[in-house]
Structure 1
């Protein structure tokens, strides 16, 4: 009887939770504007926290070497933000010029793609009816999405003043968060009941070990791949090397699917130059991905997450379906967090 009552209460709880979430979803026109304002205000703190989290191990390393924490943070900031600032100062004008040029040339490029599509249409007329139509639909969709992506990037850069404000605020916020991180953590732990503090501390340590190592390693790999692509594109005379290598570097953060997503814009642009350039670009991307999978990632990341590839692919499919590109990027970090939570739950159950 007690078991039946227990399950009845659980069922009632989940039913009530579903109703609350459904009503919350229906009322989204009321709370979405408030959420957008809140996110605008919070975003500098989120980015600042993320940067301070990335730099925290380097500060710890310098402290172990005998350097004062304040001096270590100052030195690190001078190096990291000095290099980043110089890169932005030199790179942004080139990036914007390349983006504007590709936006201006979009109609011309679209005409070339239509020519390729017509040739493709002619050469595949003998294929089965359904397969032929399906391939044509996929190509048309890719053309439409490419145009939409260019427009989104141009619109995003038109709000450059907001980005500049963030660029000024984020280093300041991250500096103070990094400087006082240990004190803030201890104060945060005081909000947790004393009997659960040590358990919470171990949980946060495990999350940092698994998730933090993955994020830092993945960002470093993306930086290496993006920089290598930019250099090779430039040496081989490819148009828009900075813009296209940036896309390749950013999409590389998505395991398995990212390289294919990043390769599409580069190959499409290469096709507007010549077929041989498209082959060169494809070869560059294949070589980079081979090196990333067999040399760079094993050295930089090792076996950080210890998750089966099939589990990661499943998480990516679910994340992509639920939240698009953001879901693809966040799927693996969320999976790593869930893994640590389940491991701690199992540990507590065994102790119990």
Structure 2
């Protein structure tokens, strides 16, 4: 009896490995064909992303707000009125937040712009000091280091230029983002109708299993999105407190940046902390040490206490697979691709691991 169970478990494991392997191979083939078929695939993907961005944001917000709408409708409030109440509360909250934080953001942004010449001057002083130190080294080593600095300088200039261009391109998204509230309203209002319309296209023999699959997809994706928002808010708030304690300049802006970047697993904390470390370095090298310790403590609490408690272990995926998906997302759509890469992985994983014989 035990031998039969062992064989069946091995069969299930083998089937899972085959499914994962086939999916990985198909994904790589599709990406290869996209790159080969469309030499300007970045422009194509950029266009697709601009069109799909409002829908992605509306879907994310639907997962966040839908439980609140459901609770309000349970109190004999019409669904459309519940949505309008949430919109009103949201608008009032955003207005208050902007009213309270705008002076700080404006002051820090203006101060940062005025500080740019000083930051560049400090950077040049560092380069000159390093050049004085390496001047005593043998000529071959000195020459190699000089060339390395030239490469770094050119790369930095190119990176800044690209970032300025991309920042200018952000304005192009504003029009599409204006559609999000409209899409969100209809997603919250008519989601059951949309689901029924979709299910009407499914053959009857697959209908029950399709409903189960949709249920599991919704549960996993909703749990992941809500958990990530809570975790990122915690990281942003605690990081802001660390910045205030250490008197880091532009603390509010840097904390918001850290909160957004923390959505990206593994790479996010490094990306989010980099600007703060650079600015702290301009203030005092000693502050950098305290800052790094503070960020490490925040990330330790987030990774070892908060994430396991809020996110749980049911959505955990092997780090190698997550990193691979993040790299693919970065290559296809930059930072935005990295942000949506893991939710896409959650959906794919839910589909692959779905057990049609498991009761909901």
1:25 matches 2:38? yes
Q: Are 1:230 and 1:241, in contact at CA under 8 Å, matched by a contact in 2?
A: yes
Q: 1:190 and 1:97, CA in 2 relative to 1: closer, same or farther beyond 3 A?
A: farther
Cα displacement (A) at 1:172: 3.6
Q: Could you say which residue in structure 1 is the equivalent of 2:247?
A: 237
Change (3 A) 1:98 1:141: farther
1:220 aligns with 2:230: yes
1:343 to 336, 347, 353: 353
Distance 2:310 2:64 in 1: 15
Moved more, 212-221 or 73-82: 73-82
Q: Which residue is 1:299 aligned to?
A: 309
Q: Structure 2 residue aligned with 1:47, among 43, 48, 57?
A: 57
CA distance in 2, matches of 1:142, 1:267: 20
Q: 1:148 to 1:279 in 2, by over 3 A?
A: farther
Root-mean-square deviation (CA), in Å? 4.1
Separation in 1, partners of 2:59, 2:308: 27
- Tell me the TM-score normalized by structure 2: 0.73
Q: Tell me the equivalent position of 1:103.
A: 113
Q: Which of 158, 164, 189 lines up with 1:151 in the alignment?
A: 164
The Cα shift of 1:67 comes to 5.6
In 1: Cα distance, 2:52 partner to 2:322 partner: 30
- Deviation for aligned residue 1:50: 2.8
Closer, same or farther: CA 88–300 of 1 in aligned 2, 3 Å: farther
CA distance 1:245–1:139, change in 2 (3 Å): farther
Output one character per residue of 1:62-117: Cα deviation in whole Å (capped at 9) or x when no partner. 44577653454344333344323322344345435433442343232122123234
What TM-score results when the alignment is normalised by the length of structure 1? 0.75
Please state how far the C-alpha of 1:207 moved relative to its aligned partner. Answer: 1.6
The 3-state SS of whatever aligns with 1:272 is helix
Distance 1:54 1:134 in 2: 51
Quickly say closer, same or farther: Cα 1:117–1:205, change in 2 above 3 A. Answer: farther
Would you say how many aligned residue pairs link Structure 1 and Structure 2?
Answer: 329
Contact 1:110–1:143 at 8 Å: present in 2 too?
Answer: no
Match of 2:292 among 272, 277, 282: 282
Cα distance, 1:282 vs. partner?
A: 2.1
Alignment partner of 1:232: what SS?
Answer: helix
Mapped to 1, the partners of 2:107 and 2:36 lie a distance apart of 47
The Cα shift of 1:253 comes to 0.8
Q: Which moved more, 1:57-66 or 1:138-147?
A: 138-147
Secondary structure of the equivalent of 1:180? helix
Q: Is the 8 A contact 1:211 1:333 kept in 2?
A: yes
Q: 1:22 to 1:116 in 2, by over 3 A?
A: closer
Alignment of 1:1-352 (within 5 A): 21=34, 24-26=37-39, 32=44, 36=47, 43-63=53-73, 68-92=78-102, 94-120=104-130, 129=141, 136=149, 140=153, 143-144=156-157, 147-148=160-161, 151-152=164-165, 155=168, 159=171, 163=174, 169-344=179-354, 347=355
Unaligned runs of 5+ in 2: 1-28
- Report 1 or 2 for greater relative contact order, CA contacts < 8 Å, sequence distance ≥ 6: 2
- Alpha carbons of 1:168 and 1:22: their partners in 2 closer, same or farther (altered >3 Å)? closer
Deviation per CA, 1:249-276: give whole Å up to 9, x if none.
1111111111111111101011112223
Unaligned runs of 5+ in 1: 1-15
